[in-house]
Chains A and B, each alone.
Chain A
Amino acid sequence: MAEAVILIEDLPIKDPNSKAKLITISGQLDESNVDMKAKDIYKVFEEIPGKLYLVFDFAGLDYMNSRSIGYLTDWYGKLTEKGGKIFIARTKPNIKDILQVVGLTQLIQTFDTLDAAKQAVMQESSAAAATPAPTLAIPAQTPVATPAQVPAVTQTTQVQAQPAPATPAQTQVPVAPTPQPGQPVSQTPATPPVQTTAPTSQPETYKLNA
């Protein structure tokens, strides 16, 4: 069985309404261990039901399969539903390659250094802390309709029952189109450069206009 180790630590952030965790994964995530290892991450979701930022440090991750990517996509869906975000740091070239081929790098920001990823979380959470929380209070000047002013209902509308909400594992996540080799990634993160994929298929010749 492939070996994988997951370490989870707190990351300090300024936003009092949210939490951040650093998740360090090393080894190989494959069919033989990923279901078991994913439970550790789902525990974090249980412990922190509110807004959450996750930084994945993949410096020691040598392999991940499609199911690991499926989990990552599920976590992305869960976090973004609540205004949280995922950041990935220090991927090896083969890991970045597989994240790119499934289109995940267009949804999740990746960083060459852990510091850059941490800085992105700080910026993101600081911006969230600075934004006033929406208020539900009704302004005093808003006219409030009294029951007498409400027109009588003359028509009844039959409302179809809505389908039950999707189960967590079936959360639909927008999947970005698979980038073509050499095609620059359109994502423009607010934080330091994420994508460092240079066009690979172009001939690299230098022309001097003498």
Chain B
Amino acid sequence: MEQPIKITITLPTNAYFVSGIRDFTLALIKNTTKFAEKWAYRMQSVVDELCNNAIEYGSAENAEIKVVLIHKQDEYIEILVEDTGTGKNKTTAAEIQKLYDEKRKEGYKFVGIRGRGLAKIVGEWTDQLEFKDLSNGGLQVRVRKYLKDPRYKSGLPESTPTHLVLNI
């Protein structure tokens, strides 16, 4: 059985570098997976939002964040983003889960400029999302998008009409 491909990237805690991760994610999913192009763009946004949160909340300016991209052929794309827990606004897994659940409730009113990324983008475009406290005090966010698990929205390209059904 084919082993998943795993790519780990470590970045300084600075939004300046995140555009490179976005470009890499887009190219990786477009060129090496069977996911539809739409999902490559969506996962690009997912990675961006997770990295921005880690930079803004979890890791101090002189620290770093870690991004792990895992691709299991014909099955899924998994993304892990970890902070060091040294940021001024660090949160625990339980705290972020509570906030996330609240924002995912129907009718939740988003106020202000921030706060839509995790609930409205990451939450909508991934099949699994998990928060985990790390032993170093940091936070790990793990998301997974399946290619064709019937329980979730398909990541495959949409089919085009190729035949006629004669209803005689």
Residue positions of A touching B, CB distance < 8 A: 1-2, 28, 30-32, 63, 65-67, 69-71, 73-74, 93-94, 97-98, 101-103, 169-175, 177-178, 181, 200-201, 203-210
Contacts and interface: CB of A to CB of B under 8 A. Distances in A.
B124 A178 contact: yes
Contact of B167 (A103, A181, A207): A207
B25 to A, nearest CB: 12
Given A101-B121, A172-B109, A208-B166, A1 B161 contact: no
B15 A205 contact: no
B19 to A, nearest CB: 4
A33 to B, nearest CB: 9
9 contacts: A31-B52, A66-B49, A66-B120, A69-B116, A97-B38, A102-B116, A172-B109, A204-B159, A208-B165
Specify which of A31, A101, A200 lies most central, judged by the most chain B CB atoms within 10 Å of its CB.
A31
Given A94-B41, A101-B124, A172-B111, A65 B117 contact: yes
Contacts of A174: 109
Interface residues of B, number: 42
B42 interface: yes
A163 to B, nearest CB: 14
B79 to A, nearest CB: 16
A93 B38 contact: yes
Contacts of A178: 120, 124
- Interface pairs A-B: 5 shortest CB-CB: A70-B113, A66-B117, A94-B41, A31-B15, A204-B161
Given A205-B163, A206-B161, A66 B124 contact: no
B158 interface: yes
Given A98-B121, A178-B120, A30 B48 contact: yes
A210 B168 contact: yes
B114 A67 contact: yes
A67 B120 contact: no
B42 A70 contact: no
B19 A2 contact: yes
B134 to A, nearest CB: 23
A40 to B, nearest CB: 15
B159 A1 contact: no
A169 B113 contact: yes
A210 B165 CA distance: 11
A70 B52 CA distance: 14
Interface string B86-127: 000000000000000000001111111111110011001100
Contact of A32 (B19, B44, B108, B120): B19
Contacts of A201: 158
Given A175-B109, A204-B160, 13 more contacts: A28-B19, A32-B15, A32-B18, A67-B52, A67-B117, A97-B38, A101-B124, A169-B113, A181-B153, A207-B166, A208-B165, A208-B168, A209-B167
B78 to A, nearest CB: 20
Contacts of B109: 172, 174-175
Contacts of B125: 101
B165 A205 contact: yes
Given A32-B16, A101-B125, A71 B113 contact: yes
A203 B117 CA distance: 31
A66 B116 contact: yes
Given A97-B41, A206-B161, A206-B164, A31 B121 contact: no
